[in-house]
A and B are shown apart, each in its own frame.
Chain A
């Protein structure tokens, strides 16, 4: 027998302005290696936060600390005001989690796994579970050991989403999913957002974060380097300028705010931080046939923080 959640329990969460996640000076070290350093982060209830960073930046460590799977070496983590480290069971009643790689009991079928995880969670919405099974084109009658990586990921996603938990902690949740299923995932995130659920989405798939998140936090080498809305974050980055000139491209490397200059013949490409007037004055002297300037994508924003090699520079 399934245990459906009363609709009033999972509907209309929007408007509850409590803070879903709050960390203060949260740190984790393994010997001399700092996995996470003094993380101060607040995620209001109902927000979709993208948590970005390259591999090894500390994203999974943050989530494991929030879940109480590992102990903090300093600081505090709260989920809806509950100390996640001291009382994880209480915190978990309002949380569902999707890991990047699902490790499930191979002898159980998909349906048995969903039954078990729903029961252990304490409550879930069976109607929504069936809808998710259909949306993700998932066959629950097979044994887990026969599922591909993508199907195992679908299974763990359905198990988390069907709980209608107030907070979804998603750690690279679309790993192994094809583009069609990524779209199904985004649809489910939109539904959760509409329902007022809070989503903490750890990812390095920038297009995914760009598509679904209200705010973005960027982590580098265990340290939070930026938090803000997508609009706010874009102001931090340079404009990308491409120009086709009447004559040979001039040397603009000394122009204030200009960087990453790439000149070839009468074509010029560069990035501009701050006012564009000094650059335009130089270009107009040569004569401008065609000029485009574009806002940075999240990808370019990301690269501005980490550099193309991911090692970081700013």
Chain B
């Protein structure tokens, strides 16, 4: 009898924490992987500093050039102690990790709360031994475990890299840095939690969170543009992280607003969850509207309507990036002149120039990666359209599968071409205003040069979609991630190592630092188009497959 009572008590306890445990498990796995990426990025920045800037002169030139560069500060934050390993590590990795961590934070929070509610699964959980408020609190605890899973590998890898004699960052400073950069993820988990309770859907919550992140970035950008505006940093969550000055001062005061934001928003989210009706929204919603039939005349128009937001956003992002990097090319070119590591990187990619052209050459190799990610997103959208069952509404009508997939691939191809070309043009506009001395034709070629790898990834993605639909998203993004990883690690390979050939990005010549590799580009284009055709044929012959 006592045994049965104890067993029931234990079962009750487990039932009471099932949401926390489930959320923790689902947040921790991707969190841990992102932590490895963050830690790896920080460790890599620290470890390569010595080889990239081996002489005092090179380090001093770097510090002098960037130290007073307002545009560079606006992009990456205040640049301090660039002639030291900690200063350089903070400049090179902090903003990257902070932004990725913030994006991961709000996406995972909205996925595991509002997303579960949208899918109807939250309702099932709430029918068990819990309440709306209790379940939300449990989910918040689970997400906290997820943030911890990001912090652990980030901290271990940072401390590990710091212990190396070449780097020489003490464990306390390394832990402070890891905590500072991961706090962005924690803050945006809390923001995602809170906004998810107010928004109508997860999609809407993500848009609001992205706007908060963009606003936060822009406010700190303004704050870092001029010393007189420095106070603005206290109005921005990302600015608070800058105020911590990790690795360049370690001032913990800014942890007060960071911790306050996390606690206040988490508590508020739980309170809202406890008081609102399931499925309702605190934001004003307009569920009714007059029909807008623009682009709804057929499946091709529908594809354009469904993809337009992502397509426009990617094009805008690449154009803006091109413009910004064009603007700073002159200053960056001066700073990296003589930097052995960057010269090696250019040489590995087949280039020989230095200065602004070398800088923009490397930037456009990164742009090739961004274009590949953009087309991967289109493959993901195709697969999601099929997995959700939406596609069946078209395929049970007189719509040929090859026609539907053809239009989808054409949109993705158009995205790659327009974004690449406009990025080249925008880079020229930026570079021309700074008299960087790089011609329009060279930067247009640089833009066109990043199209073939995008087409190659798109083709392989289409083939994966045709043959292995459930694995298509992982395969397509996997190709891009693998290429980026090999590109990053290529410094440790011999120049003729076979592993290098498996990276799409290492077949991209760093135009305008080098002549375009026409042969490699034609191969990438040909193989990509062939794979796309095979993918269309395979899709026409296979079963339509749900989630």
Contacts and interface: CB of A to CB of B under 8 A. Distances in A.
A165 to B, nearest CB: 10
Contacts of B302: 105, 116, 120
A112 B397 contact: no
A226 B6 CA distance: 55
Contact of A115 (B289, B291, B388, B398): B291
B417 to A, nearest CB: 27
Contact of B396 (A95, A104, A111, A140): A95
Interface string A106-127: 1011011001110111100000
Given A89-B400, A92-B396, A119 B296 contact: yes
Interface stretch (A39-47, A66-74, A204-212, A254-262): A66-74
B395 to A, nearest CB: 6
Interface string B188-208: 000000000000110000000
A289 interface: no
B393 interface: yes
A67 B306 contact: no
Contacts of A67: 395-396
User: Interface extent on A, as a size class?
Assistant: 35 or more
Interface in A78-117: 88-90, 92-93, 95, 97, 99, 101, 103-106, 108-109, 111-112, 115-117
Contacts of A142: 287-288
Given A115-B291, A116-B302, A121 B543 contact: no
A117 B297 CA distance: 9
A69 B393 contact: no
A69 B395 contact: yes
A122 B393 contact: no
A111 B544 contact: no
User: Which residue among B289, B296, B541 has the maximum number of chain A CB atoms within 10 Å of its CB?
Assistant: B296
User: Which residue among B287, B397, B398 has the maximum number of chain A CB atoms within 10 Å of its CB?
Assistant: B397
Interface string B283-323: 00001111111001111001000100000000000000000
Given A71-B542, A103-B388, A112-B291, A117 B393 contact: yes
B398 A69 contact: no
B399 interface: yes
B287 A121 contact: no
B395 A122 contact: no
Given A103-B389, A104-B390, A112-B293, A69 B543 contact: yes
A285 interface: no
Contacts of B390: 103-105
A45 to B, nearest CB: 19
Contacts of A88: 395
Nearest to B201: A145
Contacts of A109: 288-289, 291
A92 B392 contact: no
Nearest to B286: A143
B393 A119 contact: no
Interface of B: 200-201, 287-293, 296-299, 302, 306, 388-390, 392-400, 541-544
20 contacts: A67-B396, A69-B395, A69-B543, A70-B543, A71-B541, A90-B398, A92-B398, A97-B396, A99-B389, A104-B393, A105-B390, A108-B296, A111-B291, A115-B291, A120-B302, A120-B393, A121-B397, A141-B290, A142-B287, A143-B289
Interface of A: 64, 67-71, 88-90, 92-93, 95, 97, 99, 101, 103-106, 108-109, 111-112, 115-117, 119-122, 140-143, 145-146
